[in-house]
Amino acid sequence: MGSLTDMTPDTAFTYELGWIPVSPRLAVARRLSLALVYLIVIAVVVALVLIPGVPTWVPAVVGAIAVVIFIWLWWLIGRRVRSFGYAERGDDLLVTSGILFRRLVIVPYGRMQLVDVQAGPIDRWLGVTTVQLHTAAATTDASIPGLVPDVAVELRDRLARRGEERSTGL
């Protein structure tokens, strides 16, 4: 058994054929957000350098740790984005994601109560959109981030139509 991250994807989660990956631009968007957060970290390090009385090794250590974490997160974002996938079957939608904590959600079209399409400012600028499905269960947690806007809107309409056709009560 190798290290966790070296393992091949577990077939229990992925043996369904026809997984559609999400756009690699999602990784760009998330890395950009990460970089923005790191502006604050850089400001803290600079402040530590400038404040008199702080020993010089303090900003050095803080900076080094921050750089290591940055590189790790940068790499992790790539892996996380590649782990997202969805598949449309005749009666339900499957969404999978996660590296350390893997999940697979199967949502019957007839159970969908609403389908959200949302995008933050950075996402909009880069052209990635999140489609989120809601059922009457709060735990359903079926969101597909990183879709190209056209694909997202098409997917939403398709899901909404199928939901309408198969809708049942609770």
Partner 1 sequence: MSNAQQPSPIGDDLGLGLTLPGESPSDALGRRHVHPITPIVHGVSVVPVIVLLVVASGGGVLASFGWGIVPITVLAVVVVGLAVTGWSYLAWRNLWYWFDDDGDFRVDSGVLTRKQRRLQLSRLQAVDVAQPLFARLFSMAEVSIEVAGSGDSRVKLRYLKLAQARSLRNEVLARAAGLAGDVEEAPESALVTVPTRDLAVSLVMRTATAGLLLLTVAIFVFTVLSEGWGGLPLVLITGGVPILVVASEFMRYFRFTVSQSPDGLRLRFGLARTETRTVPPGRVQAIEFVEPLLWRRWNWVRVRINIAGVGGESNGNKKEETLLIPVAPLPVAISLVHRLMPGLDLDALDWHPAPERSRRRAFIQWRRLAVAWDDSVLATRSGRFTRRLAVIPHVRTQSVRVTQGPWERMLDLATMHADSTPGPVSVKALHLDAHYAREVADEQVARARQARGSDTTTHWAKPQDHPDI
Beta carbon nearer to partner 1, 8 or 56: 8
Q: Residue 131 CB, nearest distance to partner 1 (Å)? A: 15
Nearer CB in complex with partner 1: 112/128:
112
Q: In angstroms, what is the minimal distance from the CB of 164 to partner 1?
A: 12
DSSP string, 22-58: PPTHHHHHHHHHHHHHHHHHHHHHHHHHHSTTS-THH
Nearest distance from C-beta of residue 46 to partner 1, angstroms: 36
- Give the residues lining the site for partner 1 (CB under 8 A): 1, 4, 7, 10-13, 15, 91-92, 100-108, 110-111, 113-114, 134-142, 167-170
- Who contacts 82 (Cβ-Cβ below 8 Å, separation ≥6)? 21
- Specify the residue, 105 or 131, whose C-beta has the smaller distance to partner 1: 105
Torsions phi, psi of 24, nearest 5? -65, -15
8 A C-beta contact, residue 16 and residue 94: yes
Which is nearest to 38 in space by CA: 74, 81, 7?
74
Least separation, in Å, of the C-beta of 142 and partner 1? 7
Phi, psi of 136 (to 5 degrees): -70, -10
Which residue, 11 or 56, has its beta carbon nearer to partner 1? 11
